[in-house]
Amino acid sequence: MDQVIAFTVVEVHLSPWEAHVARALLESEGIRAYLGSEHVVAAWWPMSLGFGGVRLLVRREHADQAHAVLNLRDRGELEAALIEAYPPDVVQCSHCGSGQFVECRSWPAISLAFMLLFVGRAIFPPAKDFRCQSCGQLR
């Protein structure tokens, strides 16, 4: 006896990576999800829009539940719950307690970056330290 399983498209993404993140979100909530046209888009991503994008598919009976989860994501409620559960580290100046810092780069690193500019590609040096905007104290 043949069983027909009907799927419905709950979202369309232009990149397979975004679609995988959305699929992983649904699967983390217990909703089995699949991607359609993922490999075609990955093989020729500039034509993603022409191919109709990567389709995020769920079983038809799970569509309402999937839309509810995706709406929570779109409203930012999932991100807010994540920040509440894992609050970001608050960095404060050890001297004055300020939380505002500016990036500091060393002059040898900057001069090396300018030399690399003339040699080939310039990779600007990442900040090695942070300076307090209020009092100038290095973190």
**Contacting range for Zn ion; rule: CB under 5 A; set: 21-29, 36-44, 72-80, 87-95:** 87-95
Min. distance of Cβ 132 from Zn ion in angstroms?
A: 3
Min. distance of Cβ 100 from Zn ion in angstroms?
A: 9
**CB within 8 Å of 73: residues ≥ 6 apart:** 22, 25, 79
| Contact with Zn ion (CB under 5 A) among 81, 135, 138, 139 | 135
Q: Is 96 in the site for Zn ion (CB under 5 A)?
A: yes
Q: Is 21 in the site for Zn ion (CB under 5 A)?
A: no
Min. distance of Cβ 138 from Zn ion in angstroms?
A: 9
What end-to-end distance do the CA atoms of the chain give, in Å? 70
CB-CB contact of 100 with 139 (8 Å): no
Angstrom distance (rounded) from CA 28 to CA 24: 6
Min. distance of Cβ 129 from Zn ion in angstroms?
A: 13
SS3 state of residue 120: coil
Angstrom distance (rounded) from CA 78 to CA 116: 43
CA 106 to centroid of chain Cα atoms: 30
Q: Is 32 in the site for Zn ion (CB under 5 A)?
A: no
Q: Is 95 in the site for Zn ion (CB under 5 A)?
A: yes
Q: Is 37 in the site for Zn ion (CB under 5 A)?
A: no
Residue ranges in contact with Zn ion by CB under 5 A: 93, 95-96, 98, 132, 134-135, 137
